[in-house]
Amino acid sequence: MRELKSEKRVQSLAMEFLSVAQQAALASYPWIGKGNKNEVDRAGTEAMRNRLNLIDMSGLIVIGEGEMDEAPMLYIGEELGTGKGPQLDIAVDPVDGTGLMAKGMDNSIAVIAASTRGSLLHAPDMYMEKIAVGPKAKGCVNLDASLTENMKSVAKALGKDLRELTVMIQDRPRHDHLIQQVRDVGARLKLFSDGDVTRAIGTALEEVDVDILVGTGGAPEGVIAATALKCLGGDFQGRLAPQNEEEFDRCITMGITDPRKIFTIDEIVKSDDCFFVATGITDGLLINGIRKKEDGLMQTHSFLTIGGSSVKYQFIEAYH
């Protein structure tokens, strides 16, 4: 009976957090294609903070965007909510894909994830090596293994020939060795420019033709993606990649005693009492961007997944 009550509580908060993501997306919308990343971040951040403070909860930001590029941000350690209700860890990215959005390009979203207090990895804003797969390949990946070995393991789990496997990698010079391994085995390669959260989630959805996401990207996005995959039954591993002594020391300061440790999905998100929501700003892999209708209403498209729920995920269309 206690588990049922807990799930109902999460469901209620998840719908309130959906409104948070929607408002952040709507606030950022006017800045599409205007070339100003900081204004994009500022608009989304202010809207998200204002809405979060209205929720009956004691929320703590453990993943906040902005430190690495000095953009406006919801900062790590910031407390939000009315102070009543459940205690939560919150991971946010008011606009994932600020650069894309500033250029008027696709795949920018407002995204937020939450779990019970003390259950999310307090990852600093630095790079993280990542690998993500869907439920059928859960337990079949290892960051210490080569991508070739991981592809073989995942292909076997999915009942696919290696040449049928689809691997998604961010198009960066640092990933040339990964790209070459995909080509060497004859698997399908999908490159993308920015925004790896939805790509990681795509590995767990039948609607998206991707089997593995792999590469080095932002650690905050890694924790957010891991939360979504935890809800969806997928798998994720991450390893922080500090670029200098200052970043290494920051890991230690934040309680990560071994910055080169591989974190499993259950170490990144320690509770099943979690949820993830994203609202599209511009059109993307999972969800559509905002549409302004002839009657003046604004149409949003969102994705929601809740840990422990009988409904694995929902696509939600709303008019504002």
Are residues 264 and 133 both part of a single domain? yes
97 annotated as belonging to a binding site for a ligand: yes
Q: What three-state secondary structure class fits 46?
A: helix
Quote the pLDDT of residue 65. 55
Are residues 94 and 181 both part of a single domain? no
Task: Judge whether 313 lies within some domain.
Answer: yes
Ordered DSSP codes for 202-230: HTT-TTS--SEEEEEEEHHHHHHHHHHHH
93 annotated as belonging to a binding site for a ligand: yes
Q: What is d(CA 125, CA 127) in angstroms, rounded to the nearest whole number?
A: 7
176 annotated as belonging to a binding site for a ligand: no
250 annotated as belonging to a binding site for a ligand: no
Q: What is d(CA 137, CA 127) in angstroms, rounded to the nearest whole number?
A: 25
Are residues 258 and 280 both part of a single domain? no
Q: 107 in the Ramachandran plot: left (φ > 0), alpha (ψ -120 to 50) or beta?
A: left
Task: Judge whether 228 lies within some domain.
Answer: yes
All residues at 6 or more sequence positions from 155 whose CB lies less than 8 Å from its CB, including other chains = 161, 162, 164, 165, 211
Are residues 178 and 153 both part of a single domain? yes
| Contact criterion met (CB below 8 Å) for 316 and 301 | yes
Are residues 259 and 142 both part of a single domain? yes
249 annotated as belonging to a binding site for a ligand: no
* Domain end among 268, 284, 303: 268
Task: Judge whether 122 lies within some domain.
Answer: no
Quote the pLDDT of residue 311. 75
Ordered DSSP codes for 266-316: HHHB--S-EEEEEEESS--SSS---EE-TTS-EEEEEEEEETT-SS--EEE
9 annotated as belonging to a binding site for a ligand: no
253 annotated as belonging to a binding site for a ligand: no
Residue 47 C-beta-side C-alpha neighbours within 13 Å: 25
* Domain end among 268, 286, 310: 268
221 annotated as belonging to a binding site for a ligand: yes
The conformation of residue 126, written as its DSSP 8-state character, comes to S
Task: Judge whether 112 lies within some domain.
Answer: yes
Are residues 132 and 100 both part of a single domain? no
246 annotated as belonging to a binding site for a ligand: no
Task: Judge whether 213 lies within some domain.
Answer: yes
196 annotated as belonging to a binding site for a ligand: yes
Question: 217-229 burial string, b = 16+ CB within 10 Å, else e?
Answer: bbbbbbbbbbbbb
Q: The domain spanning residue 88 has which CATH number?
A: 3.30.540.10
184 annotated as belonging to a binding site for a ligand: no
Quote the pLDDT of residue 9. 60
Are residues 158 and 238 both part of a single domain? yes
Q: Where in the sequence is the domain holding 216, given as residue range(s)?
A: 127-268
Q: Indicate the number of domains in the chain.
A: 2
Are residues 264 and 277 both part of a single domain? no
Task: Judge whether 289 lies within some domain.
Answer: yes
Are residues 17 and 52 both part of a single domain? yes
282 annotated as belonging to a binding site for a ligand: no
Task: State the burial class of residue 46 (Cβ atoms within 10 Å of its Cβ: 0-12, 13-18, 19+).
Answer: middle
Q: The domain spanning residue 148 has which CATH number?
A: 3.40.190.90
Whole-structure pTM value: 0.92
Are residues 263 and 139 both part of a single domain? yes
| Contact criterion met (CB below 8 Å) for 237 and 263 | yes
Are residues 87 and 147 both part of a single domain? no
Q: What is d(CA 146, CA 319) in angstroms, rounded to the nearest whole number?
A: 46
Task: Judge whether 187 lies within some domain.
Answer: yes
| Residue-by-residue pLDDT tens, the chain, 320 positions | 344 444 446 557 999 999 999 999 999 999 999 999 888 888 999 999 999 999 999 999 998 754 444 545 788 888 999 998 899 999 998 888 888 888 999 999 999 999 999 999 988 888 999 999 999 999 999 999 999 999 999 999 999 999 999 999 999 999 999 999 999 999 999 999 888 999 999 999 998 999 999 999 999 899 999 999 999 999 999 999 999 999 898 888 888 889 899 999 999 999 999 999 999 999 999 999 999 999 999 999 999 999 987 778 999 999 99
| Contact criterion met (CB below 8 Å) for 45 and 73 | yes
Are residues 103 and 87 both part of a single domain? yes
* Domain end among 251, 268, 285: 268
98 annotated as belonging to a binding site for a ligand: yes
| Closest listed residue to residue 107, CA positions, set 299, 277, 229, 286 | 286
Which helix (H) or strand (E) segment is 47 a member of?
helix 37-52
195 annotated as belonging to a binding site for a ligand: yes
